[in-house]
């Protein structure tokens, strides 16, 4: 029996990238999954079912309040409760890279709408269900680029810095309802060719400075994510956990 048997977990952006690794890990531990994404999550659902888990795919645009409320309702309708939310969806892949003068102001707004407002809206949408049951776990995803002050996509880095503030204040606001809120911070994970092509040469540089000298892969994130949604982390809230193979010590 998996350690998350009977737990209902929503993963935004769960249809692809690192989100699908989270979904596989959660399904393997027996969680019931809500794969919430802008794109179709039915392949992920089929995979989760093959792993023996219950799963549904829900279309969501995390930057839209009504859409996030419909996501939470769909999750509750499907499984009767919501134990955890993984705020993993993000705007990055189609981002403009270059000096800050070249960032289109509308793209800045979109980046914050998805990465920051989206994380808030999803937390806001699940909170009535979690408050009613007196428990819940919310995991927000930041980025090592915040520590590094990585240049070349200021809007993304600034949006991920906001995640730390969101986590800390939310943890205090929701703590009296038994809901934990934590941040999980990955380093650079070039999980497919499109990702790697966006920042050529970066993986080699980052790998060289790590204690563990290899490329980070999505599966490297899964154990810590499982910990943060499991009872093993029940007294952990408002915290940030870096999973980066020792690329920096903070
Ligand atoms: N890959 C990396 O190097 C890296 C490093 C640090 C942090 N992160 C963070 O990890 C998370 C996952 O990253 P990834 O590399 O898998 O990203 P990705 O771009 O590969 O996948 C993001 C997923 O989010 C979905 N999505 C995008 N906008 C959405 C919206 N408005 N509503 C709902 N879903 C939406 C996409 O469809 C996609 O399935 C993100 O929060 C990212 O910022 C990634």
Provide the b/e sequence for 88-105 (b: ≥16 CB within 10 Å): bbbbbeebeeeeeeebee
Asked if residue 248 is part of any domain, the answer here is: no
For atom 42 of ligand 1, which residue has the closest CA? 90
Calculate how far, in angstroms, residue 189's C-alpha sits from the geometric centre of ligand 1.
Answer: 11
What are the pLDDT digits (tens) for 74-105? 999 999 999 999 999 999 989 999 999 999 99
How many structural domains is the chain composed of?
1
The DSSP element (H or E) to which 6 belongs, if any, is: none
83: domain CATH number is 3.40.50.720
Asked if residue 250 is part of any domain, the answer here is: no
What are the pLDDT digits (tens) for 5-14? 999 999 999 9
CB-based contact 61:44 (threshold 8 Å): no
Calculate how far, in angstroms, residue 73's C-alpha sits from the geometric centre of ligand 1.
Answer: 23
For atom 38 of ligand 1, which residue has the closest CA? 13
Domain carrying residue 59: 8-242
CB-based contact 91:141 (threshold 8 Å): no
Calculate how far, in angstroms, residue 176's C-alpha sits from the geometric centre of ligand 1.
Answer: 30
**CB of 88 shorter than 6 A to ligand 1:** yes
Question: Does residue 156 carry a catalytic annotation?
Answer: yes
Asked if residue 197 is part of any domain, the answer here is: yes
Q: What is the pLDDT along the chain (250 residues), one digit of tens a residue?
A: 799 999 999 999 999 999 999 999 999 999 999 999 999 999 999 999 999 999 999 999 999 999 999 999 999 999 999 999 999 999 998 999 999 999 999 999 999 999 999 999 999 999 999 999 999 999 999 999 999 999 999 999 999 999 999 999 999 999 999 999 999 999 999 998 888 888 889 999 999 999 999 999 999 999 999 999 999 999 999 999 999 999 988 7
Q: Is the dihedral of CA 178, 222, 23, 25 positive or negative?
A: negative
Asked if residue 98 is part of any domain, the answer here is: yes
């Amino acid at each position: 029996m998996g350690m998350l048997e009977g737990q209902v977990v929503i993963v935004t952006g769960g249809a692809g990238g690192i989100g699908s690794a989270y979904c596989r890990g959660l399904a393997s531990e027996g969680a019931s999954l809500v794969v919430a994404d802008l794109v179709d999550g039915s392949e992920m659902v089929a995979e989760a079912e093959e792993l023996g888990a219950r799963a549904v795919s829900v279309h969501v645009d995390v930057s839209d309040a009504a859409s996030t409320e419909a996501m939470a309702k769909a999750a509750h309708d499907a499984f009767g409760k919501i134990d955890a939310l993984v705020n993993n969806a993000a705007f990055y892949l189609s981002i403009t890279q270059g000096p800050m003068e070249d960032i289109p102001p509308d793209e800045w707004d979109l980046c914050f709408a998805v990465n920051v407002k989206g994380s808030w809206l999803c937390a806001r949408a699940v909170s009535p269900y979690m408050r009613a049951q007196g428990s819940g776990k919310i995991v927000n995803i930041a980025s090592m680029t915040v520590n590094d002050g990585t240049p070349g996509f200021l809007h993304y880095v600034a949006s991920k810095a906001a995640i730390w503030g969101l986590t800390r204040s939310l943890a205090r606001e929701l703590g009296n309802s038994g809901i934990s809120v934590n941040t999980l911070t990955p380093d650079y994970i070039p999980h497919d060719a499109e990702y790697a092509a966006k920042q050529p040469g970066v993986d080699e540089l980052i790998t060289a400075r790590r204690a563990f000298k290899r490329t980070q892969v999505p599966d490297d994130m899964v154990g810590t994510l499982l910990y943060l949604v499991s009872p093993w982390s029940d007294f952990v809230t408002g915290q940030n956990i870096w999973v980066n193979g020792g690329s920096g010590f903070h």
